[in-house]
Amino acid sequence: MDRFVSHHMLRLDAKGRVSVPASFRTVLARDGFDGLYCHPALDRPALDAGGNALLAEIEALISGFPPYSEEREQFSLALYGTSETLKIDGEGRVVLTDTHKTHAGIKDAVVFVGLGHKFRIWEPGRFRAELAEATDKVLAFKQELGTRTAAAKPHGARE
C-alpha cells in the first residue's frame, strides 16, 4: 500500500510523544522519506503530514506561481515557514511541537487520518465534528448527483 488510509486514535505519553501508526510508517518508508514532514493545515485546526508525496504537492503548488510573486512568497511562508521535519524514533514515535499542538488544539490524544498521499493529525473531538460535517456534505452531494442522473435519463430508459 502506498497510500495513507483509515484513522487511528492514539494518546501522547508523559513526554509528549505519540506513535505514528505502523501502516503510516510503512507508507513513509516506501516513499523514501526519513521522518515526518508536518505543517499546520491552512484551512482546518489540524496538521498536515506526510513524506515526499506531500512535499512534491507543495512544490508543484508553489512553483506554479512566478518567482518572487506575492502569491509564491505567501504560500512558501505558510507551507514551508511553519513546517517541521519530525524525527521518528526507534519505537515509531514523534514529538509534536507546541506550536503545532496549539494550532490543532491537541492536548493528550490525537487521531491520525489517512488522506491518500498525506494524512492529517487531529484533536479527537475536532476530528469527530469534521467527520460528521464531511459525511453530511457527501451524502447531500450523492443525493444531488442521483437527482441529476435521474433527470438526464430519457423517460423509460433502462439502466
77: domain CATH number?
3.40.1550.20
pLDDT of residue 125: 98
Asked whether 120 and 48 are in contact (CB, 8 A), the reply is yes
In Å, how far are 2, 31, 62, 84, 101 from 56, measured between CA atoms?
15, 11, 10, 16, 24
Inform me whether the pLDDT recorded for 14 exceeds 70.
Answer: yes
Position 22: which residue type? Answer: A
150 occurs within a structural domain: no
| Number of structural domains in the chain | 1
In a domain, 43, yes or no: yes
d(CA 88, CA 18): 10
The pLDDT of residue 154 is 66
Is 149 inside any structural domain?
A: no
In a domain, 147, yes or no: no
> Of 34 and 98, which is predicted with more confidence?
98
Q: What is the DSSP letter of 124?
A: H
The CA-atom distances, in angstroms, between 107 and each of 86, 117, 124 are 18, 26, 10
| Residue 139, in any domain of the structure | no
Domain housing 17: 7-123
Q: What is the DSSP letter of 97?
A: -
Q: What is the pLDDT of residues 87-141, one digit of tens each?
A: 999 999 999 999 999 999 999 999 999 999 999 999 999 999 999 999 999 999 9
The closest of 80, 79, 89 to 20, measured between CA atoms, is 89
Residue 60 lies in a domain: yes
In a domain, 95, yes or no: yes
- Pairwise CA distance, residues 157 & 139, whole Å: 25
Q: Report the distance separating Cα 122 and Cα 96, nearest Å.
A: 12
- Note the pLDDT of residue 147: 81
Mean pLDDT of all residues in 11-32: 96
State the pLDDT at residue 150.
Answer: 73
Q: Classify residue 98: in a domain, yes or no.
A: yes
User: What does the pLDDT average to over 2-9?
Assistant: 96
pLDDT digits (tens, 9 = 90+) for 39-95: 999 999 999 999 999 999 999 999 999 999 999 999 999 999 999 999 999 999 999
Please, are residues 24 and 114 in contact by the beta-carbon 8 Å criterion? yes
